[in-house]
Structure 1
Amino acid sequence: MFRRLREPASPVTIIVDGGVVVAEQGDSVSTVLLCAGVVSFRKTAVTGARRSAYCGMGVCFDCLVTIDGVGNRQACLTPVREGMIVTTGAGRRTLLQEVSK
């Protein structure tokens, strides 16, 4: 659906869900994901509905992803950098509780 008009002049390499993606220095994570064909950034916790970039300016929080192990980062507001690791969401997380006596 989305494509670049030109090849990156200042390319950086990031990892998206385990795969290597070439991005343009200064691109937002959401731009890179959309150009790489990622159509679902996360799933909602309650219904499992797929979410992607919506507003593109940090208002809606639909583009939340995990970046370098830190969850709930807004892809539309986060610029890419060399070696960044991005993981898209898979819906509701399970909470493990350790009961100690």
Structure 2
Amino acid sequence: MTRRILTHPVLDAIDDTAMISFTYNDKEYQGLRNESLAAALLANGIRTLRLHEESGTPRGIYCNIGHCFECRVTVNGQQGARACLTPVQEGMVVTSGEKLLTTVKDWRSQNE
């Protein structure tokens, strides 16, 4: 039984023979070239992608179509990437657990 999503309504069809390596929280994983980062993480058994900014509760993939922003991670140093819409690439560095800006108050405190 595979955990992989091989077709996606936004991304092209996935070549299930093209494995690549990427890191998530300093650990190396394998994914299929151009599958979504969310699919690659789920296929590797990772369900929690970040913690809620205020409550600290686990967050992961919810809608899987880019509407809810629950799957935000940092990709190659860029905060706020939605894992469900980001194609995984060779050597990609992904991290989670960082507090992402969510309110005007957060933005204002960092920009004053």
Q: What is the TM-score of this pair, normalised by structure 1?
A: 0.81
Q: Higher relative CO (CA 8 A, sep ≥ 6), structure 1 or 2?
A: 1
| CA shift for structure 1 position 11 | 0.8
Runs of 5+ in structure 1 lacking a partner?
none
Please name the residue that 1:69 is paired with: 77
Runs of 5+ in structure 2 lacking a partner?
6-15, 102-108
Please name the residue that 2:3 is paired with: 3
Q: What is the TM-score of this pair, normalised by structure 2?
A: 0.74
Please name the residue that 1:32 is paired with: 40
The question of 1:82 aligning with 2:87 is answered: no
Alignment coverage as a number of residue pairs: 94
Identify, as 1 or 2, the structure richer in helix.
Answer: 2
Runs of 4+ in 1 over 4 A off after TM superposition: 90-93
Distance 1:77 1:56, change over 3 A: same
Whole-angstrom CA distance in 1 between matches of 2:19 and 2:44 = 14
- Contact 1:46-1:92 within 8 A present in 2 as well: no
Please name the residue that 1:13 is paired with: 21
Distance 1:91 1:40, change over 3 A: farther
